[in-house]
Amino acid sequence: MSRPAGDPISELIKGSGIGIDIADAALADSVQQGIGRVERLLHDSVQSDFDFATRTSLHLVDAGGKRFRPLFTLLAAQFGNPQADEVITSAAVVEMIHLATLYHDDVMDEATMRRGATSANARWDNSIAILTGDFLFAQASALIADLGAEAVREMARTFELLVTGQMRETVGVGPDEDAVEFYLQVIFEKTGSLIATAGRFGAWFSGADEATVESLERIGRLIGIGFQISDDIIDIASPPEESGKTPGTDLREGVRTLPMLYALADPDTDPRLRDLLSRALTEDAEVHEALDLLRASNGLERTRATLDEYANDARKELASLPDTPAREALSVLVDYVVARTR
């Protein structure tokens, strides 16, 4: 049964920017209740005797965002008991860790805006932003300690991947490494690893069987990598009125994303594009020129094909799960990862 327009869960999922709708009323209600519990736990967990720490933490908690990771956790939990307290706690943990990384990312990227608001480093300073991220990591650690030693070990492994992914990106690809494989490893570690953990936690703490837990972890990994690849495509191919983002951000920052790497690997790529991709672009005219050349290059086509491969692998994993409304919602999510780039 479809839900009426303007329903809160539709706004949460479709209006928030994730771009999918949950057609099954019972599933939508379950997810809505779960998200409400996660939000309350997030707010409760960042309360501190030091009021300033609470205020800086709530800066991003209250800024909104897609809440994709807790959503994925709750959908994964539908293959067991989605209302288990441990499911809600783990969903809050993965979102809190994600928020913590955003504070740190904004410092490294010297960002001035985050989710439509002034970034914490711009509003206060770099030290406050870093310390707020550390505070959120500490609060997340306190929550996960209640979930048991194995959960702590899983999150420690995820922490390691988040950090090594950022370190890889900062150091850059070595002379003897394949640039595309290196990039795919970076985006798995920086993005896919936490979404994979969200899937594992949701299924695990709902009481799903081990095969389902492993499958949802793999689906999270594939979707996480796919989302980053789709963002790479959008940064080049989508008009700002459709994406809500300014095209060419990566070009301005000198970041080589997958379409650029594929273009550079193609011997037939225009020499002018190679020159433009060799440096950060500060002039609008050069950014527009590079975008036009990238849109016409084989790099963009190859990136779309790679995204399709990840989506197809995720669909194969989904086929192994029981045929339920939750599987259908996850399938719609996979379709959206691809559709948002067309």
pLDDT tens per residue across span 65-93: 778 899 999 999 999 999 999 999 999 99
Quote the pLDDT of residue 14.
46
Q: Are 219 and 336 members of one domain? A: yes
Residue type, 110: E
* Domain span holding position 203: 1-208
Q: Are 54 and 130 members of one domain? A: yes
Domain end position, chosen among 150, 184, 208: 208
What is the distance between the alpha carbons of residues 136 and 134, in angstroms, rounded to a whole number? 5
What does the pLDDT average to over 268-277? 95
What global pTM score does this model have? 0.90
At residue 243 the predicted structure's pLDDT band, cuts being 50, 70 and 90, is very low
Q: Are 248 and 315 members of one domain? A: yes
Q: Are 64 and 182 members of one domain? A: yes
Quote the pLDDT of residue 339.
85
Quote the pLDDT of residue 17.
41
What is the distance between the alpha carbons of residues 328 and 342, in angstroms, rounded to a whole number? 21
* Separation of CA 194 from chain center: 8
Quote the pLDDT of residue 12.
42
Quote the pLDDT of residue 118.
74
Q: Are 320 and 213 members of one domain? A: yes
Quote the tokens at residue 319. Answer: 């086929």
- CATH number for the domain spanning 230: value is 1.10.600.10
Task: Please state the domain count of the chain.
Answer: 2
Q: Are 221 and 194 members of one domain? A: no
Q: Can you say whether residue 64 is alpha, beta or left, with left for phi > 0 and alpha for psi between -120 and 50 degrees?
A: left
Q: Are 122 and 31 members of one domain? A: yes
Q: Are 167 and 269 members of one domain? A: no
Where helices occur in 46-148 by DSSP H, the ranges are 51-61, 68-76, 85-109, 120-123, 126-145
Does residue 275 register a pLDDT over 50?
yes
Quote the pLDDT of residue 337.
87
Q: Are 195 and 218 members of one domain? A: no
Quote the pLDDT of residue 33.
92
Q: Are 171 and 255 members of one domain? A: no
**11-25, 186-200, 218-232, 328-342: which range is least confident on average?**
11-25
At residue 26 the predicted structure's pLDDT band, cuts being 50, 70 and 90, is very high
Buried b (16+ CB within 10 A) or exposed e, 307-325: beebbebbeebbeebeeeb
Domain end position, chosen among 182, 208, 234: 208
Quote the pLDDT of residue 8.
38
**25-39, 242-256, 267-281: which range is least confident on average?**
242-256
Domain end position, chosen among 208, 232, 251: 208
Q: Are 59 and 137 members of one domain? A: yes
Q: What is the pLDDT of residues 108-134, one digit of tens each?
A: 766 666 656 777 788 788 888 899 999
Q: Is 114 helix (H, G, I), strand (E, B) or coil?
A: strand
Compute the 3-state secondary structure of the chain and give helix, strand, coil in percent, each to the nearest 5.
75, 0, 25
Q: Are 284 and 172 members of one domain? A: no
Quote the pLDDT of residue 242.
54
Of 213, 170, 163, 214, the residue nearest 189 (C-alpha): 163
Rg of the chain taking only CA atoms, in angstroms: 20
* Mean pLDDT rounded to a whole number for the chain: 88
